[in-house]
Amino acid sequence: MPDTLPFVTDPWFYLAAVPAALLIGLSKSGFASGFGALAVPLMALTVTVPQAAAITLPILMVADAAGLQRLWRERDAALVRLLMPAGLAGILVGALTFGVLAPKTVSAVVGALTLIFLAQRLLFPPRKDGHVAPRWAGRALALASGFTSFISHAGGPPIAAYLLPMRLDPLRLSGTTAVFFAVINAAKVVPYAVLGLIDLRNMSTALLLVPVAPAGVWLGVWMTKRISPDGFYRIAYAGMLLTGIKLLWDGLR
C-alpha cells in the first residue's frame, strides 16, 4: 500500500517540492538568494510547515556543500566573523521558542520586514559605492536570520537586508552567504532531532529531492559569472520582493 512506503507519495507534493529544491540550489549559489525562502512555503502547500522544514533541511545541507565547493574562496572572512556568532544565537532562540510562536506568525513578520526594507531601498536608493550599516545592525539582522531560519528556513531576507546595500562583488556576496548558511543549517540538525522532526519518512523524502539542489547551485554559479553586477542585484531584490509577498500572504491568510 502507498501509505506504507517510507516517503511522501502524494504527486502534488513533488509538483511543489522539485521547484522548491531547485530554488534552494539557486539561492545557495547567491544568484537568487531571496528565492530560497520560498522553498518551505511551496512545500507547505501540501504538507505541514514543520514537516516541510524537516524535509528541506537535508536538501539545504547538500546544496550548502555544493555551494561551498565553488564559493569558499570568495567569502568575506571579516563579515563571516561578524555575523556568525549572532546567527548561531538566533538558532538557539529558535530552538527554545519552537512551538511557542506559530510558523505563520514568523512568516508574516519576516514578510512585512522584507517589504519594508525594499520600500526603504526604493525611496532612499543606496549609493553606488555601497553603504556599510553599523556592526550592531549586522549582528541584529544575523540574529534574526538564525531565528527565522530555524523556524521556517527563511533566514535569507534578514541577512540580505544587511549585505545587499554594501554592493559587494556578486561572487563575494555569494561566498559570504554560502559560508554563513552552511554553518547555520548544520547547527539545526541536533535541535531538529530533539524536537522529533527528523524521522525516516521525512529523510527518505528529502533523499529523493537531494539531486535537484546541486543542479540549482551549478546553474546559479554559472549565471552569476555571466551577468552584470547591476543585473545580479536586480534579481536579488526581485527575489526578496516575491519572498516578502509570499511570506506575508502565508502569515495573514
pLDDT tens track for 192-221: 999 888 888 889 999 999 888 888 878 877
pLDDT tens track for 80-136: 999 999 999 999 998 988 777 776 777 777 778 778 777 766 665 655 555 567 889
Higher-confidence residue of 209 and 50: namely 209
CA–CA gap between residue 113 and residue 105 (Å, rounded): 12
**101 three-state secondary structure:** strand
**125 three-state secondary structure:** coil
Domain boundaries, the chain: 2-252
> Which pLDDT score is estimated for 1?
42
For residue 231, name the pLDDT band (cuts at 50, 70, 90): confident
For residue 76, name the pLDDT band (cuts at 50, 70, 90): very high
